[in-house]
């Protein structure tokens, strides 16, 4: 939990510093968003290799190595003197976070009985969400007091604590309880196809911002070709007896397939909003970074308590009901954001943020467990890796999409972020971006309603 808190904090806390960092390096919005999306691209790659890394090195070695990498990325970002150095640090942090984040779901499904999995997920979630709840508030104060560099160092004490705890509590075994298999081979061709396709997708979305869309369409076409080639290669790997990077047998489980669709769309909306909200408060409402972070603090606390309560409902209430309620509340939160303007009391903004965080509290403890519970036990590591990969891929696309749509709508309304003052036109652009996120959440409800397959009995999993 401590390690996951560090990885999530490294993902979300930087957003409050993007305006100051953009000013320091002279970046436009379309380049500044790579601070967030670069992290997510490397996270998606990290999530794909998690099953192989765990089988190759075991739990403890994997965990300690990723925490060291995360800490190195935090220190590197804090001392960076050029934007490419910041991006390099974010890529290192993202790779570490991507490997770490699927591990808790694997542990909970293997170490806890089905009757205790929901409660374990709820307690775990209560601890983890404290990172994004407290992080932006402290990060905003640090940005105002010490500058944007200071926020990178926040992960260091969490990494040190998690390394110490790993040597006490984390086993050296690999998933399944056996020893690490030093001879296992990584499907590096599949990894290259997945990483290349992800980069083409995100760069293609960025290029849509330019007047000429020819390069954007070429990149997006390359992303589609990479997807087709990836699927073909994974099927060929299985047919020839090799271990695939992503086991496509996962998607033969209807519940898992629907959960993956929800995870992708939900990730697009969620991570897009974590980028958009701090920028909206600072560039749209002209709030200082410290205040922007503090506004999200009550919503984070509500999220923590909501997750704890919903975790106890996971075994009694169908997954599709919990996830649908969460998506509806999240969509409502985004749809209400356009009611916030310069003259609106900040309490209204806090209230709408709380509505969205309550929605997240319904989704977080139920989606992954509900989607993976029917899986054969041997597929659980692959299932955790793949669904987190799709969620993060959606998140990376969501950050890029929000940045592009925001820049486009600001220009369409006749404003520019080069203008130091806000305007009704700029607020209108932000409002339209929030409506886009609300629409995405509404779309995910369709897939969430299909999460109806009953869990398979344990005896069938053996």
What is the average per-residue pLDDT within 328-340?
Answer: 92
Euclidean distance between CA atoms 70 and 426, whole angstroms: 36
Q: pLDDT per residue over 152-209, tens digit each?
A: 888 899 899 999 998 988 877 766 656 666 656 778 888 889 888 888 887 787 777 6
What is the average per-residue pLDDT within 294-315?
Answer: 78
What is the average per-residue pLDDT within 6-16?
Answer: 75
The pLDDT score that the predictor gives to residue 462 is 37
How sure is the predictor about 18, in pLDDT bands with cuts at 50, 70 and 90?
Answer: confident
How sure is the predictor about 29, in pLDDT bands with cuts at 50, 70 and 90?
Answer: low
How far, CA to CA in Å, does 380 sit from each of 102, 190, 191, 321? 10, 20, 20, 23
Q: What are the residue ranges spanned by the domains of the chain? A: 2-173+245-456, 187-244
The pLDDT score that the predictor gives to residue 460 is 38
3-state secondary structure the chain: CHHHHHHHHHHHHHHHHHHHHHHHHCCCHHHHCHHHHHHHHHHHHHHHHHHHHHHHHCHHHHHHHHHHHHHHHHHHHHHCCCHHHHHHHHHHHHHHHHHHCCHHHHHHHHHCCHHHHHHHHHHHHHHHCHHHHHHHHHHHHHHHHHCHHHHHHHHHHHHHHHHHHHHHHCCCCCCCCCCCCCCCCCCHHHHHHHHHHHHHHHHHHHHCCCCCCHHHHHHHHHHHHHHHHHHHHHHHHHHCCCCCCCCHHHHHCHHHHHHHHHHHHHHHHHHHHHHHHHHHHHHHCCCCHHHHHHHCHHHHHHHHHHHHHHHCCCCCCCHHHHHHHHHHHHHHHHHHHHHCCCCCCHHHHHHHHHHHHHHHHHHHHHHHHHHHCCCCHHHHHHHHHHHHHHHHHHHHHHHHHHHHHHHHHHHHCCCCCCCCCCCHHHHHHHHHHHHHHHHHHHHHHHHHCCCCCCCCCHHHHC
Mean predicted lDDT score pLDDT of the chain: 81
Euclidean distance between CA atoms 384 and 182, whole angstroms: 22
Let me know the angle formed at the C-alpha of 47 by 128 and 231, rounded to the nearest 5 degrees: 145
Q: pLDDT per residue over 122-137, tens digit each?
A: 777 776 766 666 666 6
The pLDDT score that the predictor gives to residue 334 is 92
Global confidence as pTM: 0.75
Q: Which two tokens stand for residue 62?
A: 């994997």
The pLDDT score that the predictor gives to residue 456 is 46
CATH number of 2-173+245-456: 1.20.1250.20
What is the average per-residue pLDDT within 330-336?
Answer: 93
The pLDDT score that the predictor gives to residue 159 is 92
């Amino acid at each position: 939990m401590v390690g996951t808190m560090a990885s999530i904090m490294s993902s979300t806390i930087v957003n409050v510093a993007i305006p100051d960092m953009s000013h320091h390096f002279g970046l436009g919005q379309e380049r500044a968003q790579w601070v967030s999306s670069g992290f997510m691209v490397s996270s998606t790659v990290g999530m794909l290799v998690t099953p192989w890394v765990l089988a190759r090195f075991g739990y403890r070695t994997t965990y300690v190595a990723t925490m060291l990498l995360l800490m190195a990325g935090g220190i590197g970002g804090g001392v960076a003197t050029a934007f490419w150095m910041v991006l390099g640090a974010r890529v290192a942090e993202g790779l570490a976070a991507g490997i770490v984040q699927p591990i808790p779901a694997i542990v909970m499904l293997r170490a806890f009985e089905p009757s205790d999995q929901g409660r374990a997920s709820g307690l775990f979630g209560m601890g983890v969400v404290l990172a994004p709840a407290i992080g932006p508030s402290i990060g905003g104060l640090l940005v105002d007091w010490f500058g944007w560099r200071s926020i990178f160092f926040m992960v260091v004490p969490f990494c040190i604590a998690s390394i110490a705890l790993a040597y006490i509590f984390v086993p050296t075994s690999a998933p399944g309880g056996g020893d690490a298999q030093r001879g296992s081979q990584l499907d590096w061709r599949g990894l290259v196809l997945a990483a290349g396709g992800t980069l083409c997708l995100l760069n293609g979305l960025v290029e849509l911002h330019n007047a000429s869309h020819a390069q954007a369409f070429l990149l997006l076409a390359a992303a589609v070709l990479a997807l087709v080639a990836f699927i073909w290669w994974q099927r060929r790997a299985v047919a020839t007896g090799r271990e695939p990077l992503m086991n496509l047998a996962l998607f033969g489980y209807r519940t898992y397939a629907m959960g993956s669709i929800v995870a992708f769309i939900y990730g697009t909306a969620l991570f897009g909003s974590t980028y958009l909200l701090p920028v909206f408060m600072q560039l749209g409402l002209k709030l200082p970074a410290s205040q922007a972070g503090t506004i999200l603090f009550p919503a984070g606390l509500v999220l923590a308590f909501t997750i704890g309560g919903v975790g106890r409902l996971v075994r009694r209430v169908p997954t599709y009901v919990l996830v649908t309620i969460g998506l509806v509340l999240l969509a409502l939160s985004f749809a209400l954001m356009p009611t916030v303007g310069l003259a609106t009391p900040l309490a209204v903004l806090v209230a709408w943020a709380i509505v969205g965080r309550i929605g997240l509290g319904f989704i977080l403890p139920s989606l992954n467990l509900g989607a993976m519970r029917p899986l054969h036990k041997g597929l659980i590591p692959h299932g955790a890796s793949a669904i987190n990969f799709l969620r993060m891929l959606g998140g990376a696309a969501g950050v890029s999409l929000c940045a592009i749509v925001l820049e486009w709508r600001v220009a369409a309304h006749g404003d520019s972020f080069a203008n130091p003052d806000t305007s009704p036109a700029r607020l209108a652009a932000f409002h339209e971006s929030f409506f886009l996120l609300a629409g995405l959440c509404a779309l995910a409800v369709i897939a969430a309603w299909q999460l109806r397959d009953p869990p398979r009995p344990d005896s069938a999993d053996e």
